[in-house]
Structure 1
Amino acid sequence: MATGYDGHFLAKTLLAGGVAGMTSKTAVAPLDRIKILLQAHKIGYKNHGVFSGLRAIIEKERFLGLYRGNGAQMVRVFPYAAVQFLSFEIYKKHLTNLYGSGHSIKFFAGSLAGVTAVTMTYPLDLVRARLAFITPDDLITAKSDGKTISLMERSMIINTLRQVYGQHGIRGLYRGLSPTLLAMIPHAGISFYSFERLKHLVFTHFPQFCSRQKDGSIVLSFPAKLLCGGISGAITQPIIYPLDVARRRSQLATADAETRKYGGNPMRTLLTIYREHGIISGLYRGMSINYIRAVPMVAVSFTAYEIMKQSLGLNTGLSS
């Protein structure tokens, strides 16, 4: 399908989105790791809170343990964020041409962009979750069971992909995709809609938080970008968090014996979590850390994207 954009615009937008994604994910990588361990009730961590869990990771695995799986995250997040931001621009243009301008268009464009990006990069998200789930205790157990998988081998992205594919086939690489897509539709839609709506609000009612560029365009100031991004990140969390828990449980269903019972369809996984752990300790397990990580992550992501667009000469000013 023709996009109506030239190659320079496409390349610049892909670059801006990819850099924004890598910047935001690296900023909150330690919080991502402990969130995964808490969501899945990992042995050795399930009784910890956010900050005690972070301390436990450092004590058991040293400082770099906070970033376990972040290599896979970066391999995934650059194409994911690049595709998501570019898709949003393309969907927004085509939907506007079809149905006219309006902020509701940005919700649908954001939802479609999120679904597109997730579908294209999902196996790498699964790999990132499995690598983040590994602890030194797993490596000791592997040795005692006579397995030959070393720390270096298990931390390799391609090796993990081969392992999952070899054991479970192509379906294994997309385990947990259904709850991910269900969560992504409101998550990406509300995130993009909220940011664009807040951006428009600042342009219209708070011009003192805007600045004029050399080319005459008016853009948000740095603090205004962060604030709009942070608010948009905060709005989505209570809506999509249980589905995020179900996604992680499904992804890790084959990681060890403790998690195998969560390998069913999304609704069955949600019901199992609810029956065993309830709402607060189950469906919203790790919610506090999700707010701590999601708000700055989304704020940094949108801010970095806007800054990259400005530096690459792409329009970031007021739009309809």
Structure 2
Amino acid sequence: MAEVKLIDVVKRYADGTEAVSRVNLTIRNEEFMVLVGPSGCGKSTTLRMVAGLEDISAGDLYIGERRVNDVPPKDRDIAMVFQNYALYPHMTVRENMAFGLKLRGFSKQDIRQRVEEAARIVGLETLLERRPKALSGGQRQRVALGRAIVRRPAVFLFDEPLSNLDAELRVRMRTEIARLHRQLSATMLYVTHDQTEAMTMGDRIAVLSGGVLQQVDTPLQLYHHPVNKFVAGFIGSPSMNFVEGTLERHEGLRFVAQTGDWSLPLRDAEAERVAHYLGKPLTLGFRPEDVRYADDATATLRTRADVVEPLGSETYLYFTLAGQPLVARIPGASVPQTGETLLLDIRPHRLYFFDTTTGIAL
């Protein structure tokens, strides 16, 4: 296995569009790195540059100690698993998994040994003589994984491999790929737009927006310590709530919503952190799980339930505050009625503040 290093990597098209802007990223040896972001953020383009399927406009790409900018894909010692599986319909599972090895001149004995070993790893031993049309979506994805495993590459690349599967199968395959990573001790780079996949699978996550790398960190660090409003809003489901406003001094420091119809007193710890923004535009953020029921004495907001989504163990409660549609994630034991008036509170030690102009976290 090998380390992958991108140094000031740029992808610029002929019309001047810059899809990837000076990305600096190191995928450590045997690490599972996830590239995540919305559609058009540059994550698949970045992966394709690592694979050699896209030319690099500027910067350097290393796999191990070797600079591979101009190395053909077949010589980069990588294996790629695509979104659409890319299986040959006229070949059996065995033949699909063996095809790349045949092209590289491996002996029949080596091919048989590698294919059978990979089939055991991905649970396809009894399906080796079937053709793709006789397989389920999950089984086809396992064939694509097995075809990559037989290569024994330095780096595995995954381009949204689960997006064509149904919800239940996606959960199962997430577990399978994570188990595969542990079993192979492999270096893996995985692209997805699904932040749940990113959070549950990655050793570290690289968040991109508009071709710019926003933050690289472990899942929990990204969740609890986002560097800006974009990362805070993208990581987490449901996403973080935001209310724009300013700080005012009235019996201590208070956050006052832009609409002027709601304010939140700040504790000394939070007030000290943001006091230098007094009178400046500021965005308050809080996660849905940090909203809780309160009584008349402790409530910091009074609102009505716009939409209620009971999920059993928890309930999503949608409401409006300061003109903003927001959401709370509350225990499922008590389910309010739509239109019911609610008294709520926000955990004061779980408040986030962002510069409204730059989006930078304070």
TM-score of the superposition, structure 1-length normalised?
0.24
Which structure is higher in strand share? 2
Which structure is higher in helix share? 1
TM-score of the superposition, structure 2-length normalised?
0.22
Whose radius of gyration is greater, 1 or 2? 2
Structure possessing the higher relative contact order (Cα contacts under 8 Å, 6 or more residues apart): 1
